[in-house]
């Protein structure tokens, strides 16, 4: 049985209301020798390159949805079901199209510690120095001091400042609490433009990592003017042991081959879907292992400690300009603690795990886990895109 292939049906991947959704993405089209921006419909993929040659260029238009509507009939590239089935690199027919991450030249940024549950887990990683075997004891000790319900504390508020003073006096202040309830959000570079992987392919964990997990998140599509123009799903694959040893290892914990998954498609904002719908999303995650291990969880956007538009404003503005726009991961409250191998060690990935990130209005992002050095090599970068567009 190929679990990944079985999870790539139209019914599973498309949003529940896909008939009224404006979905865009990218497909690798062998006949074109490279990527093509596409509009996604249930019956197929339609070429958007007559409107814009890149997705980032499309999102720079005054109204991407109006431009697509005004274009009329768009050339059909391929059937969506066949293209989804062709995404798995183990089964791929290289002569036929497959889907890519739905972004291209945008910067790939992420917000950290935006939910109380994940904030506490980051503190625990710090306390254990990345040793999973000490996590259960550290969790109990941390909760005993700071509690497990900080959701009423507004980041940057006077209450947050008073709480900080108390925790400093008790020797429990943490860099993760600083960005969790302090005035400044953590915004970091997740990966490089063009490096994100899409639906149906492998995501990568470092082969030396012994404590790692997926991070199911909503990802905002933001143009160079700072306008949030759409949303999609992401898996911010994370190495808990690397980051736990030192926060200065964040780059190694977060940025490895195929460690940034985005997709399946960007849903553009229109009259039927907007930022309020993002605020109401419940992001579900399911992990299925070849060893029979299963884990499910959820992350409710209603429990985020910083509003999505606040995170966007902290990511781009007068001090942070991105001429090609950016994709912004908004963080997760999902931090798996279910034991997989030994009591008290919690969850970690195994090669072959199939990870599904799902919410009804955005569809499902499905990937299989492999070691980062064994995933499909990233060879098509910005230079290759320029050469492709020139041809």
Residue 89 in this model has a pLDDT that exceeds 90: yes
What's the CA gap between 162 and 159, in Å, rounded?
5
Please tell me the predicted confidence (pLDDT) of residue 217: 96
Q: How many CA atoms lie within 13 A of 227 on its CB side?
A: 13
d(CA 360, CA 98): 23
Cβ atoms of 329 and 231 closer than 8 Å: no
Instruction: Compute the mean pLDDT over every residue in the chain, rounded to the nearest whole number.
Output: 90
Report pLDDT for 124.
Answer: 65
What pLDDT digit, counting tens, does each position of 166-218 carry?
A: 666 666 667 777 777 778 888 999 999 999 999 999 999 999 999 899 999 99
234-251: pLDDT as tens digits: 999 999 899 888 888 989
Which residues partner with 232 through β-bridges? 219
How many C-beta atoms surround the C-beta of residue 41 within 10 A? 16
Min mean pLDDT across 148-162, 287-301, 312-326, 328-342 is at 148-162
Question: Token pair for residue 306?
Answer: 């910083």
Cα distances (angstroms) measured from residue 107 to each of 35, 103, 196, 326: 18, 9, 10, 4
User: pLDDT per residue over 351-377, tens digit each?
Assistant: 999 999 999 999 999 999 999 999 999
Predicted local confidence at residue 330, as pLDDT: 94
Of 169 and 84, the structure prediction assigns the larger pLDDT to 84
Question: Coil, strand, or helix at residue 365?
Answer: strand
pLDDT of residue 290: 95
**Taking phi first (over 0 means left), then psi (-120 to 50 degrees means alpha), and beta for anything else, what does residue 322 get?**
beta
pLDDT at 148: 57
- Is the pTM value of this prediction over 0.85? yes
The reported pLDDT for the residue numbered 161 is: 75
Going by pLDDT thresholds of 50, 70 and 90, the confidence category of residue 43 is: confident
C-alpha to C-alpha distance for 109 and 87, rounded to whole angstroms: 25
Residue with tokens 């400042």, as numbered in its chain: 161
Q: How far, in Å, CA of 130 to CA of 289, rounded? A: 23
Q: What is the pLDDT at residue 185?
A: 86
Residue 79 CB partners (closer than 8 Å, separation 6+): 43, 44, 45
pLDDT tens-digit profile of 100-151?
999 999 999 999 877 765 666 666 666 676 676 776 776 676 566 555 555 5
pLDDT at 127: 66
Q: What is the mean pLDDT of residues 8-22?
A: 96
């Amino acid at each position: 049985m190929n679990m990944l292939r079985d999870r790539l049906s139209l019914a599973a991947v498309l949003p529940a209301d896909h008939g009224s959704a404006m979905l865009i993405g990218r497909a690798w089209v062998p006949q074109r020798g490279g990527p093509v921006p596409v509009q996604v419909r249930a019956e197929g993929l339609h070429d958007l390159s007559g409107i814009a040659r890149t997705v980032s260029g499309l999102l720079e238009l005054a109204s991407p949805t109006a431009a697509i509507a005004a274009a009329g009939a768009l050339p059909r590239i391929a059937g969506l079901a066949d293209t989804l089935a062709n995404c798995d690199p183990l089964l791929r027919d290289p002569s036929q199209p497959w889907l890519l991450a739905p972004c291209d030249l945008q910067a790939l940024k992420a917000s950290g510690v935006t939910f109380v549950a994940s904030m506490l887990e980051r503190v625990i990683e710090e306390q254990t120095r990345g040793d999973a075997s000490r996590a259960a004891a550290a969790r109990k000790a941390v909760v005993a001091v700071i509690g497990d319900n900080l959701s009423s504390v507004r980041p940057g508020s006077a209450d947050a400042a008073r709480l900080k003073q108390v925790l400093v006096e008790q020797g429990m202040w943490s860099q993760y609490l600083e960005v969790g309830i302090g005035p400044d959000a953590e915004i970091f570079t997740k990966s490089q433009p063009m490096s994100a992987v899409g639906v149906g392919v492998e995501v990568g964990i470092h082969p030396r990592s012994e404590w790692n997990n997926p991070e199911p998140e909503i990802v905002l599509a933001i143009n160079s003017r700072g306008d949030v123009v759409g949303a999609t799903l992401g898996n911010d694959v994370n190495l808990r042991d690397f980051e736990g040893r030192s926060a200065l290892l964040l780059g190694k914990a977060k940025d490895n081959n195929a460690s940034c998954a985005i997709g399946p498609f960007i849903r553009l904002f229109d009259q039927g879907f907007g930022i309020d719908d993002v605020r109401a999303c419940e992001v579900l995650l399911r992990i299925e292992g070849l060893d029979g291990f299963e884990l499910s969880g959820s992350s409710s956007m209603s429990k985020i400690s910083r509003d999505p538009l606040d995170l966007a404003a902290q990511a781009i503005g007068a001090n942070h300009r991105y001429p090609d726009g950016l994709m912004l991961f908004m963080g997760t409250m999902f931090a798996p603690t279910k034991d997989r191998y030994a009591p008290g060690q919690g969850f970690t990935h195994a090669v072959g795990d199939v990870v599904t990130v799902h919410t009804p209005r955005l569809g499902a992002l499905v990937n299989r886990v492999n070691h980062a050095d064994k995933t499909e090599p990233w060879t098509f970068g910005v230079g290759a895109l320029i050469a492709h567009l020139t041809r």
